Structures are given as structure tokens and as C-alpha cells.
Structure 1
Amino acid sequence: MEPWEMREWYADYLDACNRHDFDAIRSFVAPGVRRAHLPGGADAWVSDMADLFHAFPDWRWRRIQLVVEDDRLAAHLRGSGTHLGVFRGVAPTRRHANVAQFAMYRVTNGRIAEFSGSADEVELLAQLTGTDR
């Protein structure tokens, strides 16, 4: 894909995520996607998204910056939502959380083949529990 196509592709992917459309999300992810320090595969990817969306039904990402180089994307995002379901063992707090996220993707044949990044889960849990990190 050309850089402008990658940008449009990522905008479509982020839109699918923000709509919580699991079928559409799955269409952007390779079946054998590799994820640094996380279980691989599209099923694990969608399951993690489902856990997040269950705990934060209004969760949305806002793109801050996107860098495209060859078959790779680097994204700086802000993720936010209201904690209304159990997340990582923390009962619903009704607190609004807002965290920075950084992601690196390698895209092959229009699908995410590799992912690494920081979702700063420590910061997210600190916001839910009201503790300092």
C-alpha cells in the first residue's frame, strides 16, 4: 500500500474499533498476528478487545499522530472510557479513564501481521483504583 492508502486503512481500522465492531476489527487482523508479550492470533486480539469494551462500553481511541514507513505504522493514541464492568479484577468504579497509547504495526496484505506497543495498563489500573503508580 502507498502511504496515503495506509493512512486511510488505519482510519478505517480505528473507526471499526471505535464502533466496537468485532467482525470489522477481525477483518483488519491477520489470523496468525504476532503480538509482543501477548498471546498471538486474531482470536486473542478480538478477545482482548471484547474484555476492554465490556469493562468500558464507551471506550474510544483518538489518533494523535500516525507515522507510515513502508509496511509499518507507528501510532500515538489517547484511549478513554468510563469503567462500568470488571476490568483485570477491578470491579466497576464509574470512573472515566484516559491513557496514552503507542503502537507499532506491520501490515501485510491489508491486515495487521505484527503488533507491539504500550497500552500503559498500569496507568489505566491506577486511574481506576485511585492509586499512584
Structure 2
Amino acid sequence: FRAEALPTGTGSSPGPSPERIEAAVTAARGRDAVIVTTYDMVAGSTQRTLVARLVATGVPVVHLALSNPYDIARLGGRGTAPGASLATYCWTDVELRAAARVIAGRATPRGKLPVAVEHADDPSRELYPIGHGLTY
């Protein structure tokens, strides 16, 4: 694998600037895949704009929710959601290395949600129940 990191400020408030988003979109074009991280995304966050713009490039996008699984629900929407999302629950070396092994196919994803994840636009509806998890 050959990888290039482009810090966009997803962990900062209010999120990546329009210039950083544009730089990420430009860098994504022509790549085999893109890995994007989010951290505690809130309504109106430019993190959501970043992910949607990356998805719009047509390049496969893998999303890592670095803090909690709720970011996954906030990325919903047909045509704007990434091809795959993985909740790591933390951003330390251990979690990031584990996520890299899963993405590279060297480890099988496993685990179950410890919390229910509701639809971002309708919290009364459950998107993923406690115990949900996918593997292959």
C-alpha cells in the first residue's frame, strides 16, 4: 500500500475549513480509495461536508468514527454516505493500527455496538440496535 496523509482538522472545532475540504477533494481524485476520519460530529459540522464531498468524487470512501458510533448516523443519506464505516471509539495508536489491519484485510472486523444508534434526523427511530455488528 502507498498512503498519503492530509490533515483536514476533523478533530477541531468547528471542523475543516472550505479550503481544507477542497484540498482533500482534489487529493482524492484519481486515488484507489480514501480513508476519512470524523470525531464527535455535530449538526452543521463541516466534517459532514468533507465526507459528502469525498463520496461525490466517486472514489471508494472508508470512514473511521474515532470517538463514538453516532458519527455514522450523521453521515446518512443516499449518495452521501461512505461505502464503509468503522467505529474505533478512540484515536490512539492501538485503535488506529487495528483499523488499518481491518482496512488492509489483515484482520476481520468484529465487535458489537454497546449502545443503540438512532437516525440523526429522527432520534425516535433506531438505525442500529445495541449488539449490532457486521463482519465478513
What is the TM-score with the length of structure 1 in the denominator? Answer: 0.29
Select the structure that is richer in helix. Answer: 1
What is the TM-score with the length of structure 2 in the denominator? Answer: 0.29
